[in-house]
Amino acid sequence: MPARQFDLRGLAPGQGPSKRHVASVVDGVDEVVVQGPVQALAAVLNRLWRTERLPSVPVGWEPADDAASRGLARALGLGTGAERELPLVRDDHGGVLLAAGRVTALGGQRPVLGRRFGAQAYADATRVADGPITRIDVRPDWTAVDRISVAVVSLPLRPVQRTTGRALQIASEPVQVLRDGVPFDREVTRWTWYADDRVRWRLRP
């Protein structure tokens, strides 16, 4: 049977598809082609993982024409080569990360770059934050297997601390988390992103 086309091109920036909508389309398909931005692809992969069908269902992607989608498509080598298995970065709140994650202070009157929050963070065994910081950025490293890139900004215009590893663990004051541009639905004080070496997904070129 031909792959099921899943059109999510109407998603606005910062908006993810509803879990019910994704389930109604993805559950039961043998192959799916996702049309839309990064968060659309992430939602489909998350549903396949939750239903234990991630390794068995090939996924194609027709990316939207935004910067994040173009960047991820280049990183994945979309449209080149044969079908291949890829790693997946997950978090301890039930989500996946494909392009970029960010942790920042909660909203307020001050501009985002002027807000700081207290945090302690470890990339594997390396302490990357211990005190007030401005933000933490995380990206899956698609040039390696089961690895993420971490950047910690302590103050605007100061050098950024960069490292790589398999996991990032954060304990902090209440913060806001973005997963592929979509805000998590509540503030958190603990968060972990990790490259799950037990999980693979199949990308159709």
For the segment 134-183, what is each residue's pLDDT rounded down to a tens digit? 999 999 999 999 999 999 999 877 889 999 999 999 999 999 999 999 99
- The band of 114, judged by pLDDT with boundaries at 50, 70 and 90, is low
Q: At what angle do helices 67-76 and 38-50 cross, to 10 degrees?
A: 60
For residue 111, the model assigns a pLDDT of: 60
Which pLDDT score is estimated for 82? Answer: 87
- The SS3 of residue 177 is strand
Tell me the C-alpha distance between 94 and 73, whole Å: 24
Rounded mean pLDDT of the chain? 94
β-pairing, 161-165 vs 148-153, is antiparallel
Residues forming beta bridges with residue 168, ordered by sequence position: 123, 193
pLDDT tens for residues 28-56? Answer: 899 999 999 999 999 999 999 999 999 89
Which pLDDT value is given to residue 205? 85
